[in-house]
C-alpha cells in the first residue's frame, strides 16, 4: 500500500480511468461502415483494436475500396468521436468528487493521456472539470506510448515533483507497469475493456478500485 501523506501530485489517465469512453471508437467504426452500407465483421473489429489511428484508416480504405482519402477518413472519425466526447461521454462514478477533493487538499493534478485536445477539452468542459487540472500532457508530446514511462515522467516534471511523490491512476496494464517502474504509486481503475488483463493488473498496481468512492 502507500501513504497518501507523502503524495504531492496525482496523475490521471483519461479514457477508461476518469471517463466511460471505451465504447466510442467501436461506435465510430460501426456507424462509419453502416452509413456506407458495409456490414461490420468481428474480424474487422478485432483488427481495428490493435492498429494505430492512421494505419486503421488506411486499412479501412483499402479493405472496402472507399473513395475518401486516408486523411478524410481520419477527420470523419475524429468528428464522429468529437460529438460523443462533447455530448455523451460521462465521468466514472465519484470521479468528479474525488478529483475536486484532491484539489481542495492541495494535491497537484496532472493528466497523462493518449487522447488529443480536440476530443479532451469539450469532454472536460461538459463534465465540469475544465480548468481543474494543473497540467495536461499528451503522449504525442513525448513521442512514446504508455508502454514507456516518459509520459508520466514528463508530467511529473511539468508539475515540479519527483516520481516517488506521484500517484498515478490508470486502467491499462502498460501504463501501470511503466509508472510503477519509475517509482510512482499506482491505482488501477477498473474498466470492463481490460478484463482480459485483470490478473496482471491486480499484481502490478498498488491498489485496484472499482470506482473512486473507494479512495474517499
pLDDT tens digits, one per residue of 10-41? 999 999 999 999 899 999 999 999 999 999 99
Cell numbers for 151: 509520459
Check whether 202 has a pLDDT greater than 70.
yes
Residue whose entry in the numeric block shows the C-alpha cell 515540479: 160
pLDDT digits (tens, 9 = 90+) for 112-168: 999 999 999 999 999 999 999 999 999 999 999 999 999 999 999 999 999 999 999
- Give the strands of the sheet with 166-170, arranged side by side: 135-138, 108-113, 9-12, 166-170, 185-189, 207-209
Number of residues written out for the chain: 216
Give the dihedral sign, CA 42/84/13/143.
positive
CB atoms within 10 A of CB 6: 10
- pLDDT in the model for residue 15: 95
Helix or strand (DSSP H, E) at 126? helix 117-126
- pLDDT in the model for residue 52: 79
Give 49's pLDDT tier (boundaries 50, 70, 90): confident
- pLDDT in the model for residue 3: 80
- pLDDT in the model for residue 173: 96
Q: What percent of the chain has pLDDT over 70?
A: 99
Check if the beta carbon of residue 108 is closer than 8 Å to that of residue 159. yes
Give 1's pLDDT tier (boundaries 50, 70, 90): low
pLDDT digits (tens, 9 = 90+) for 56-109: 999 999 999 999 999 999 999 999 999 999 999 999 999 999 999 999 999 999
Please give the model's pTM, rounded to 2 decimal places.
0.92
Residue whose entry in the numeric block shows the C-alpha cell 468512492: 213
Amino acid at each position: 500500500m502507500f501513504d497518501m501523506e507523502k503524495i504531492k501530485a496525482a496523475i490521471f489517465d483519461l479514457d477508461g480511468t476518469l471517463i466511460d469512453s471505451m465504447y466510442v471508437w467501436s461506435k465510430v467504426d460501426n456507424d462509419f461502415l453502416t452509413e456506407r452500407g458495409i456490414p461490420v465483421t468481428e474480424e474487422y473489429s478485432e483488427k481495428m483494436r490493435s492498429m494505430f489511428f492512421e494505419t486503421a484508416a488506411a486499412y479501412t480504405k483499402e479493405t472496402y475500396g472507399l473513395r475518401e482519402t486516408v486523411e478524410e477518413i481520419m477527420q470523419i472519425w475524429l468528428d464522429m468521436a468529437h460529438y460523443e466526447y462533447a455530448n455523451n461521454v460521462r465521468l466514472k462514478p465519484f470521479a468528479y468528487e474525488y478529483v475536486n477533493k484532491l484539489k481542495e487538499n492541495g494535491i497537484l493534478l496532472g493528466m497523462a493521456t493518449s487522447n488529443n485536445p480536440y476530443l479532451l477539452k469539450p469532454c472536460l468542459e461538459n463534465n465540469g472539470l475544465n480548468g481543474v487540472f494543473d497540467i495536461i500532457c499528451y503522449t504525442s508530446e513525448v513521442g512514446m506510448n504508455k508502454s514507456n514511462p516518459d509520459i508520466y515522467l514528463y508530467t511529473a516534471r511539468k508539475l515540479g515533483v519527483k516520481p516517488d511523490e506521484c500517484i498515478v491512476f490508470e486502467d491499462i496494464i502498460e501504463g501501470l507497469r511503466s509508472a510503477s517502474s519509475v517509482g510512482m504509486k499506482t491505482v488501477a481503475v477498473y474498466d470492463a475493456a481490460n478484463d482480459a488483463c485483470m490478473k496482471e493488473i491486480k499484481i502490478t498496481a498498488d491498489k485496484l478500485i472499482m470506482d473512486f468512492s473507494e479512495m474517499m
